[in-house]
Amino acid sequence: MPDKVVKSDTEWREALTPEQFQICRCSGTERAFTGRYWNTKTPGVYACACCGEDLFSSQTKYDSGTGWPSFWKPIDDERVVVKTDHSHGMIRSEVLCARCDAHLGHVFDDGPPPTGLRYCLNSASLELKPES
C-alpha cells in the first residue's frame, strides 16, 4: 500500500466538495437513491474520492436494493479498515479507506455469496475509473 495520506481539515476542505468533506471526513451519509453511483453499471474500478486508492471493482458491485452502491468484496482487504461505529444509537461496522481514513460507509453481513457481505458505500466517497 502507498504511504498514508494525512492532511489537515483545511487541506481536505480545499481538495473536496462540501458534500465529499461532510461524508468522507465527518462520517456523514448521502440519502438513499441520490448518489451518482447507486445504480451505475459501468465497468471499472471505484477509487477513494480523497486519495485515489483503488478500493472496489465493478465486478463485485451488485444491486442491494438499498439505494447506495453495494459491493460484496473490496479489491484487497488491506485497502479498507473496518471499525465499530456506535453512532445513532446503533452498533455498526464502519468502512474506512486504509490509506487516508476517509469514511466510505458501512459493511453488513447480509450480502450475497461468496462473502455474505454488503459493503454499503456513499457515492460521494468514491470516484469511478471506467474501463478503457
Residue 100 binned pLDDT confidence (cut-offs 50, 70, 90): very high
pLDDT digits (tens, 9 = 90+) for 46-68: 999 999 999 999 999 999 999 99
Mean pLDDT of 90-113: 95
Q: Which domain holds residue 57?
A: 9-130
- Split into its structural domains, the chain has a count of 1
Q: What is the CATH number of the domain that holds 82?
A: 2.170.150.20
Only one residue has cell 502507498, namely 2
β strands within 1-132, DSSP E? 44-48, 54-57, 61-62, 70-71, 80-85, 92-97, 103-108, 118-121, 126-130
Active site residues: 120
Kindly report the average pLDDT of the chain as a whole number: 95
Residue 92 domain-assigned (yes or no):
yes
Residue 3 domain-assigned (yes or no):
no
Q: Which three cell numbers stand for residue 89?
A: 444509537
pLDDT digits (tens, 9 = 90+) for 67-94: 999 999 999 999 999 999 888 788 889 9
Residue 61 domain-assigned (yes or no):
yes
Residue 4 domain-assigned (yes or no):
no
Residue 17 domain-assigned (yes or no):
yes
Q: Which three cell numbers stand for residue 69?
A: 452502491
Residue 1 domain-assigned (yes or no):
no
